[in-house]
């Protein structure tokens, strides 16, 4: 019997083992009444022997029997690559599981035995290919947005016939010439902080996937709102004239200039007609939301700074009279709501298949979330193997 693995013992084998070691008085209760075979024997602990239903009464017998069982478990462990047992207060709980891996010497295969509770264990797989797909999605939408911006520029209403619309903020605050450049500086600071966060975040590829998916979806919606309605120019200081880009090739060339210039005046890009809704507000708000979500909650100073940059950036957009107030309000609301909507769905597994509306707002949501289970923890690491001495502590 002792030449075979204890996990293969039958109840009769366990009974013989007990008699051989001088515990024949317990063979009936363990083997006949409670059907303890080899696998069950390896899972017994001291509390199992002392508490119901076994409830052995003699303390010395309990200690000696448990010592024998512990020795048997230790010997058994040497036959396996690993035995990982998770326990609570000396007793296996409903969430505990035992993971056994035994290597077959001939086939060199690994056989795994695990409890079903392991299936619900949070998993955060990198899946770089999905991040690349989300980047391509966002990049294509960026090109489409730039092309639509060129189209709406050619359709901008004549300023002599269609003066700026009444706006309570623009009519009350005088235009500040440097305000729009200040807005873009706020955006660059937020983008830099977000880039550092992504750089050291342990789950950077998941965060990037979400960023590209959300930006692509918001700017795709912006393409629609820009195209369907052309608003008049919000300020007489803007030099806007329609019918500038005639043929399709001129339009495409201008679209590439806008895309690679990131649509920023700091890079020499000036556009007209792309008012509803504000792309600068979208970028400011999304950067702020991602920084506050994927940095530790105790970084209140950082979060306060990002919110200040976000709100001041919005103020500078309006102070520069580059957008109507409604453009900024709608952009902030859509960006923040879609961010919260996406993360509510992503963090609540029960909603993954319950709310099919996600397929409309986020077409690739289920594909991106298939191997991400649970709230992404804010864990940080140095992404390179060199220098090895650098670690991140947060």
Which residues are identified as catalytic?
A: 280, 323, 327
Q: Which long-range contacts (CB under 8 A, 24 or more apart) does 155-162 make?
A: 155/230, 155/242, 155/273, 156/230, 156/233, 156/240, 156/241, 156/242, 156/272, 156/273, 157/230, 157/231, 157/232, 157/233, 157/242, 158/242, 159/232, 159/233, 159/236, 159/240, 162/232, 162/233
Scanning the structure block, which residue is given the tokens 């806008």?
258
Cβ atoms of 232 and 163 closer than 8 Å: yes
Question: Helix, strand, coil: what percent of the chain each, to 5?
Answer: 55, 5, 40
What distance in Å separates the CA atoms of residue 337 and residue 346, rounded to the nearest whole number?
14
Four-residue CA torsion sign, 12, 17, 20, 22: negative
On the CB side of 45, CA atoms within 13 Å amount to: 9
Which tokens go with 23? 């515990």
Count other Cβ atoms within 10 Å, centred on residue 85: 14
How would you class 230 by CB atoms within 10 Å of its CB: exposed for 0-12, middle for 13-18, buried for 19 or more? buried
Q: What is the DSSP letter of 144?
A: H
Report the C-alpha gap between 215 and 219 in whole angstroms. Answer: 6
Residue the block writes with tokens 């960026």: 142
In the chain, DSSP assigns E strands to 82-85, 98-103, 110-113, 123-124, 372-373
């Amino acid at each position: 019997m002792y030449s075979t693995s204890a996990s293969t013992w039958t109840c009769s084998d366990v009974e013989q083992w007990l008699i051989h070691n001088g515990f024949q008085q317990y063979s009936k209760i363990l083997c006949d009444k409670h059907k303890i075979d080899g696998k069950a024997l390896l899972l017994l602990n001291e509390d199992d022997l002392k508490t119901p239903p076994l409830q052995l009464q003699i303390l010395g017998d309990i200690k000696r029997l448990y010592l024998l069982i512990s020795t048997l478990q230790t010997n058994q462990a040497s036959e396996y690559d690993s035995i990982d047992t998770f326990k609570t207060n000396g007793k296996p709980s409903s969430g505990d599981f035992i993971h056994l891996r035994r290597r077959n010497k001939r086939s060199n295969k690994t056989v795994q035995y695990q409890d079903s509770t392991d299936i619900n264990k949070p998993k955060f797989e990198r899946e770089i290919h999905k991040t690349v797909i989300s980047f391509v999605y966002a990049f294509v939408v960026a090109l489409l947005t730039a092309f639509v911006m060129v189209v709406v520029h050619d359709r901008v209403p004549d300023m002599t016939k269609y003066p700026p619309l009444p706006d309570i903020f623009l009519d009350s605050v005088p235009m500040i010439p440097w305000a729009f450049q200040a807005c873009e500086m706020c955006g660059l600071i937020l983008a830099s902080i977000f880039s550092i966060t992504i750089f050291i975040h342990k789950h950077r590829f998941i965060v990037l996937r979400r960023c590209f998916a959300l930006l692509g979806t918001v700017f795709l919606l912006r393409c629609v709102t820009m195209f369907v309605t052309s608003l008049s120019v919000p300020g007489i200081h803007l030099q806007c004239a329609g019918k500038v880009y005639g043929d399709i090739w001129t339009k495409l060339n201008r679209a590439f200039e806008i895309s690679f210039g990131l649509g920023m005046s700091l890079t020499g890009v000036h556009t007209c007609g792309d008012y509803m809704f504000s792309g600068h507000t979208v970028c400011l708000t999304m950067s702020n939301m991602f920084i506050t979500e994927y940095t530790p909650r105790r970084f209140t100073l950082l979060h306060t700074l990002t919110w200040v940059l976000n709100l001041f950036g919005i103020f500078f957009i309006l102070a520069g009279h580059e957008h109507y107030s409604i453009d900024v309000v709608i952009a902030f609301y859509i960006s923040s709501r879609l961010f919260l909507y996406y993360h509510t769905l992503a963090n609540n597994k029960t909603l993954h298949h319950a709310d099919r509306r996600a397929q409309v707002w986020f077409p690739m949501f289920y594909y991106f979330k298939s191997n991400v289970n649970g709230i992404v923890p804010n864990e940080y690491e140095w992404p390179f193997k060199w220098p090895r001495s650098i670690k991140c502590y947060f």
